[in-house]
Every structure is written in C-alpha cells, then in structure tokens.
C-alpha cells in the first residue's frame, strides 16, 4: 500500500514567501518607522511650509484687512495663512476628539516641551499635526546687530508632529532635552521650524545636525555656463552646509545665516550641542564677510 504525499511547488513557495515578506515590511514600517520614513516626512513638510509661506506672501493684498498685508501681525492670521495654502482636513473630517482651530489661545511658547492635543491648530490631510508658538499672539522679533546694522526680524515657530497621531509623539528623548543629541540618538517625531517675515522657513533642532532627518548641500558659484545653478557640495548636515557657504558670518539678506536657533532656551527640545563648525569654503568661491552677501547658498535636499 503506497501513500501519496503532496507538496508546494517552487512557484507556490515563492509566492507564499513574497506575501510574508510584504506583510513583514508593512508591519515594520507601520509599527517602527525607519530613518528613511522620517526623512521623507520631514523634507515633505519642510517644502510644504516653504511653498505655503511663499505663495501666501505673493498674494497678500487685502487693504481691507491689515492682518492680510505683509507678514501676519497676529498668530491667528498666520495660522489662517498656512491653512489657506496647506492641504488641511475639513473640520468635519477630523477623527476623534481633536478639534483643530486657529486661535491665539492655543499658542505655545518657543520653550514648549509638551504638545497637548488641545493646542493643535492645524491637521493636514496626511495626518501631520501643527502647533504654533508666538509671543502672546504676536510674532517673535529677532533683535540683533549684524556688522553694525540693527536686525529686527519677525518670526513665528511652527511645531509639527510629522507622523501624526502615531507615536512616540515626543520632541525630546530625555529630561534634559536634546542637548547631547548624536547620531545614535532615538529619532523623534515632533520637529520645529522658524517662519520668518522674509518668507524663509528655517529648520531648527536635531535636524540641523542629523542627516537621518534631512541632508543639505552648499551651492557654489557657477564655473560652467552649462551649469547656471552652480556646482554642488556633497550632501551633509544642514549645519555643515551653512558653514560651508557662509562660515560664521551673518547677513540680513540671508535669514538662514541668522541665529534663530540660539533664541530657544537651553533646556528646549530643539536646543542641541553643535559640533565644531567647518570654515567657509573660499576655494569654491564662498565668502565670510558678514553683511556682504556670499555667492554661495544652502539647499535642502529632496529625499528620493
């Protein structure tokens, strides 16, 4: 008496393994996002804010409403400005008990370490959640002197939970904040941006020195007529690219060179210990002349 046994064919086995692998990848990226996910999300919101701020400033021409002329004079007007040009969820589609609303009463301060759901002002269609920091409903003002010239630049701070309601929903990894942030520190999902009246969005905090969030390049003056944008440095941290382009100099004409990050308190989640800065790359045509505008500039790399 012979008993007949059956087995999977190679094709069936390969299909089964493919299905298992797909489910594993989906589970891992859902439960524990990898560095690439954070980088993609971070660069996406950075450019979304850039586009929103630029487009809004190009269309602010309502003499009937003083808040709609130039840079918003109130945080509520600033929030509504972002809402107009960001892809936000309609209020009736917001899930759960969270009700986003643009109002100064929800504003945080730039020293915030906690980000309550009750203070959320915008929720984007991709789930990202935004808080706004102001000085009692008015913009902060960077008061400084650059090469003998007074600087009084207005700005707001935007905090973003880049992966939405999914954890860890934190901006700092220990009680002291992110002062000792390093390449092995755990990535966190709440990040901060400074939005200036010059329509420039500036990254602050760990993403400045951690390429797991983003990479940046210094763009050098063109040395080839076929490359009008100029030559590019190798990708590195945003902090490195800034010093490659400008060194330690600050320029009113280049808001990225101004020290907005230094205005965050020492125990803020967005205060970090900066590495030793590199010197300006004069060999590539960059300059370090304070009020003189360098021919180099910084560009945040898209994540592919």
Structural domain contains residue 16: no
Annotate 24-79 with DSSP letters as a single string: HHHHHHHHS--HHHHHHHHHHHHHHHHHHHHHHHHS-B-TT-GGGBSS-SSHHHHH
Helix (H) or strand (E) holding 7: none
Highest mean pLDDT range out of 11-25, 110-124, 139-153, 250-264? 110-124
Specify if 4 maps to a domain: no
Cβ contact 156:133 at 8 Å: yes
Query: Over the range 261-300, which residues count as b (16 or more CB within 10 Å of their CB) and which as e?
Result: bebbeeebbbbbeeeeeeebbeebebbbebeeebebbbbb
Instruction: Determine, yes or no, domain membership for 127.
Output: yes
Residue 3 lies in a domain: no
Give me the DSSP letters along 258-279.
S-SGGGS-TTSTT---PPPPPP
Q: Is residue 147 part of a domain?
A: yes
Most confident of 18-27, 55-64, 70-79, 291-300: 70-79
Share of the chain above pLDDT 90, in %: 49
Between strands 297-300 and 140-146, the pairing is: unpaired
Output the pLDDT for position 68. Answer: 52
Q: What is the pTM of this model?
A: 0.84
Higher per-residue pLDDT: 36 or 259: 259
> In this structure, is residue 1 part of a structural domain?
no
The residues that bridge with 140 in the sheet, in sequence order, are 155
Average pLDDT, the chain: 84
The pLDDT of residue 209 = 95
Instruction: Assign 171 to helix, strand or coil.
Output: coil
Per-residue model confidence as pLDDT tens digits over 69-109: 678 999 999 999 999 999 987 765 565 667 889 999 999 99
Q: Which residues contact 269 (CB under 8 A, 6 or more apart)?
A: 113, 171, 172, 177, 178, 188, 190, 192, 205
Domain count, the chain: 1
Higher pLDDT among residues 223 and 188, named by residue: 188
* 19 vs 55 pLDDT, higher one: 55
pLDDT on residue 70 = 78
- Kindly state whether residue 284 falls inside one of the protein's structural domains: yes
User: Measuring CA to CA, which residue among 26, 42, 124, 43 is closest to residue 83?
Assistant: 124
pLDDT higher than 90, residue 118: yes
pLDDT in tens, 126-149: 999 999 999 999 999 998 877 677
Q: What is the Cα–Cα distance from 303 to 216, expressed in whole angstroms? A: 10
Residue 13 lies in a domain: no
Q: What is the mean pLDDT of residues 50-64?
A: 75
Higher-scoring residue by pLDDT: 227, 153? 153
pLDDT one-digit tens code per residue, 29-53: 544 445 678 889 999 999 999 999 9
Bridge partners, residue 215, by sequence: none
Domain extent at residue 131: 34-300
pLDDT at residue 31, as a whole number: 46
β-sheet bridge partners, residue 1: none
**Alpha-carbon gap, residue 244 to 296, rounded angstroms:** 9
At 131 the pLDDT is 98
The full length of the chain comes to: 304
Res. 300: pLDDT tops 50: yes
Q: What average pLDDT score do residues 248-262 get? A: 88
């Amino acid at each position: 008496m012979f008993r007949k046994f059956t087995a999977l064919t190679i094709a069936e086995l390969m299909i089964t393994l493919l299905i298992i692998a797909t489910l594993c990848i989906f589970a891992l990226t859902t439960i524990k996002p990898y560095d690439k996910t954070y980088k993609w999300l971070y660069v996406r919101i950075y450019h979304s804010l850039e586009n929103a701020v630029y487009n809004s400033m190009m269309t602010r021409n309502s003499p009937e409403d003083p808040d709609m002329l130039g840079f918003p004079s109130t945080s509520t007007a600033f929030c509504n400005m972002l809402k107009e040009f960001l892809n936000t969820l309609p209020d009736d589609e917001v899930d759960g008990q969270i009700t986003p609303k643009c109002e100064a009463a929800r504003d945080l301060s730039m020293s915030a370490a906690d980000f309550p759901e009750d203070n959320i002002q915008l929720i984007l269609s991709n789930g990202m959640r935004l808080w706004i920091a102001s000085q009692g409903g008015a913009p902060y003002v960077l008061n400084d002197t650059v090469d003998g010239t007074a600087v009084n630049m207005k700005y707001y701070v935007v905090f973003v939970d880049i992966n939405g309601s999914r954890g860890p929903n934190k901006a700092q990894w220990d009680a002291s904040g992110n002062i000792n942030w390093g390449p092995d520190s755990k990535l966190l999902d709440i990040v901060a941006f400074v939005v200036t009246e010059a329509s420039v969005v500036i990254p602050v905090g760990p993403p400045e020195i951690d390429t797991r969030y983003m990479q940046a390049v210094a763009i050098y003056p063109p040395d080839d007529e076929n490359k009008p944008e100029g030559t590019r440095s190798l990708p590195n941290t945003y902090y490195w690219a800034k010093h490659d382009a400008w060194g330690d100099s600050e320029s009113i004409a280049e808001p990225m060179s101004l020290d907005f990050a230094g205005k965050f308190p020492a125990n803020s989640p967005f205060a970090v210990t900066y590495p030793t800065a590199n010197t300006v790359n004069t060999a590539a045509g960059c300059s370090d002349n304070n009020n003189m505008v360098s021919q180099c500039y910084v560009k945040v790399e898209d994540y592919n």
